[in-house]
């Protein structure tokens, strides 16, 4: 009888030890799977944020270029109105606010500088007077701000070949 009890208790102890080890392995496997899932979610979040950042950069850059084109057109008198419409800068300003959500601090600062340079150029230049010194000062200030913005965007997005020598300002 003692032999049977010893065998039975040894068998039960063996099963309990095996079950405990199995539970530990399953817990470790479950934790590894959860860690992998968290990493995958993190990568997906980073990719989504990168896409939003890239989109906001492009949208803002396009809109600030439109602002600059309006300033240029005003200085050369390429439209009949002597003043720009009151809301000529509004689309770029809206995109600048969106950009601030996703941009790095250096790109956000460069974007604000480009927006301000375009606004000042358009606001202070005279209609149909491209020889006005303020027109050229505004254009130069905008060109420098635009190039700085473009270089910071390209650097932030890790675009290869981000060399200032390859960039020429144009409207």
User: pLDDT at position 53, please?
Assistant: 95
Contact 114, 169 (CB under 8 A): no
22 φψ region: left (φ > 0), alpha (ψ -120 to 50), beta (else): alpha
Kindly state whether residue 83 falls inside one of the protein's structural domains: yes
Q: Please check whether residue 130 lies inside any domain of the structure.
A: yes
**Residue 14 or 42, more confident:** 42
User: Is there a domain that residue 38 lies in?
Assistant: no
Compute the distance between CA of residue 120 and CA of residue 67 in angstroms, rounded to an integer. 10
Residue range of the domain that includes 99: 49-166
Q: Please tell me the predicted confidence (pLDDT) of residue 46.
A: 85
3-state secondary structure the chain: CHHHHHHHHHHHHHHHHHHHHHHHHHHHHHHHHHHHHHHHHHHHHHHHHHHHHHHHHHHHHHHHHHHHHHHHHHHCCCCCCCCCCCCCCHHHHHHHHHHHHHCCHHHHHHHHHHHHHHHHHHHHCCCCCCCCHHHHHHHHHHHHHHHHHHHHHHHHCCCCCCCHHHCCCCC
Look at residue 164 in the predicted model and tell me its pLDDT: 60
Quick one: what percent of the chain has pLDDT higher than 90? 61
Q: Is residue 12 part of a domain?
A: no
* pLDDT of res. 29: 82
Alpha-carbon distance of 130 to 143, in angstroms, equals 16
Average pLDDT over residues 79-83: 87
Higher pLDDT, 168 or 49: 49
Is residue 2 domain-resident?
no
In a domain, 14, yes or no: no
Q: Which long-range contacts (CB under 8 A, 24 or more apart) does 96-100 make?
A: 96/60, 96/64, 98/56, 98/59, 98/60, 99/56, 99/57, 99/59, 99/60
Q: What is the pTM of this model?
A: 0.77
Residue 171: predicted pLDDT: 53
Give residue 168's pLDDT.
56
5 within some domain: no
Count: domains in the chain: 1
pLDDT at 170: 54
Residue 4 has pLDDT above 70, yes or no: no
Mean pLDDT, to the nearest integer, of 142-165?
A: 88
pLDDT tens digit sequence for 86-132: 999 999 999 999 999 999 999 999 999 999 999 999 999 999 999 99
**Per-residue pLDDT at 167:** 57
- Is 56 among the domain residues? yes
């Amino acid at each position: 009888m003692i032999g049977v009890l010893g065998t039975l208790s040894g068998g039960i102890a063996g099963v309990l030890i095996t079950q405990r080890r199995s539970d530990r392995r399953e817990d470790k496997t479950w934790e590894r799977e959860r860690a992998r899932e968290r990493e995958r979610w993190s990568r997906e979040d980073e990719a989504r944020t990168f896409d939003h950042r890239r989109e906001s950069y492009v949208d803002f850059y396009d809109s600030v270029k439109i602002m600059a084109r309006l300033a240029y057109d005003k200085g050369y008198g390429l439209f009949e109105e002597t003043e720009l419409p009151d809301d000529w800068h509004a689309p770029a300003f809206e995109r600048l606010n969106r950009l601030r959500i996703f941009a790095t601090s250096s790109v956000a600062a460069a974007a604000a500088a480009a927006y301000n340079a375009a606004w000042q150029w358009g606001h202070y230049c005279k209609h149909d007077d491209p020889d006005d010194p303020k027109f050229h000062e505004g254009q130069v200030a905008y060109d420098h701000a635009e190039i700085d913005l473009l270089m910071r965007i390209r650097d932030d997005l890790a675009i290869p070949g981000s060399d200032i020598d390859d960039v020429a300002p144009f409207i």
